[in-house]
Structure 1
Amino acid sequence: MPAQSDLKPMLNAAEVNALMASVYPQLNDNFISYEAIDVFPGGCMVRLNADERHLRPGGTVSGPALFTLADIGGYVCVLSHAGPDALSVTVNLDINFMRKAEAGPIDGHCRILKLGKSLMVFDIDIVAGPDGHTVAHATGTYSIPRKRQDDAVK
């Protein structure tokens, strides 16, 4: 399924990272673990800089860390394309884990499948390792808050 083709971002990656740091500071605490790398029409690229904090026994990046990357991909897409309303929330997120991910950079290639007035549907391919193999794939939906009347006047 191709991504929705008529979309234009309102924010770039640096602007989304700054917004997330101000409204969601606990995401990265004192480390830059999750970040937007790129925003482009109809999608984004996010990264998990996985280190020992993200590993479970056996040296595998934990499922919750990869799940968070998938969710952050959706959040970056909705913030950058629907507008910088930090109150957008996840409605649904389904993930399939395919192979082991080890510490290091793990990238999420996210595309918006449908952006409406109240919902955004996306998918994300999470890749890692020197060969860039898919380690997980997720699909999700974000709820977009209604524009308040006082916001429309500004």
Structure 2
Amino acid sequence: MGLQFTVKELSDFLETEFPQVGGQFTIEALGEMMATVRLNVGEQHLRPGGTVSGPSIFALADVAIYIAVLAMIGREALAVTTNCSIDFMRKPAAGVDLIAECRLLKLGRVLAVGDVLIRSEGQEAPVARASLTYSIPPKR
């Protein structure tokens, strides 16, 4: 199947289709059945106490899987999350971006399943681990 986008092409697609998240995420790398995505942590991602909020961590996991799926199937804005399980394992480091390493475990005609490991930049210990399933709409 092979990659359907370059990093720049996929970044441009996301900016066009989802301008509401513009500037929040950076695609660091794409590969066969994998993606590395950065959450550019800003004030809007913090909860009281100054740590990154759970919803922001979830969003990073979700976007990382979406990017990995699109990189493989091409331009399909309507691929959607059908299941997510996330383990929050430790508090993110203060004031640094989060990095998600995503790998697709299965990519079928109608479903994609993947795992995401999220770390604070520069830290080895994971902040969260997520498993997600995406529904891929039928070709028109």
Secondary structure of the residue aligned to 1:59 is coil
Q: Distance in 1 between matches of 2:115 and 2:44?
A: 26
Cα distance in structure 2, aligned partners of 1:65 and 1:14: 23
Residue matched to 2:125 = 133
Match of 2:19 in 1: 25
- SS of the equivalent of 1:9 reads coil
1:87-106 matches, within 5 Å, as: 87-101=78-92, 102-106=94-98
Cα distance in 1 between the residues matched to 2:11 and 2:55: 21
TM-score by length of 1: 0.86
- RMSD over aligned Cα atoms: 1.2
TM-score normalised by length of structure 2 = 0.94
Q: Which residue pairs with 2:62 in the alignment? A: 71
Report Cα offsets for 1:3-35 as digits up to 9, x if no partner.
xxxx6211122111110110111112xxx1112
Distance 1:145 1:131 in 2: 37
Give the deviation of 1:65 after TM superposition.
0.3
Residues 9-18 or 136-145, more deviating: 9-18
Q: Is the 8 A contact 1:52 1:103 kept in 2?
A: no
Q: Extract structure 1 runs of 4+ deviating beyond 6 A.
A: none
Rounded to whole Å, the distance in 1 between the matches of 2:95 and 2:115 is 23
Report the CA distance between 1:105 and its aligned residue.
Answer: 1.6
Which of 45, 48, 51 is the matching residue for 1:60? 51
Mind listing any 5+ residue stretches in structure 2 that lack a counterpart? none
Q: Deviation of residue 129 (structure 1)?
A: 4.2
Could you report, residue by residue, the CA deviation over 1:57-93 in whole angstroms, capped at 9, with x for unpaired residues? 1111000000000000111011111121111111111
Structure 1 unmatched runs, 5+: 1-6, 149-154
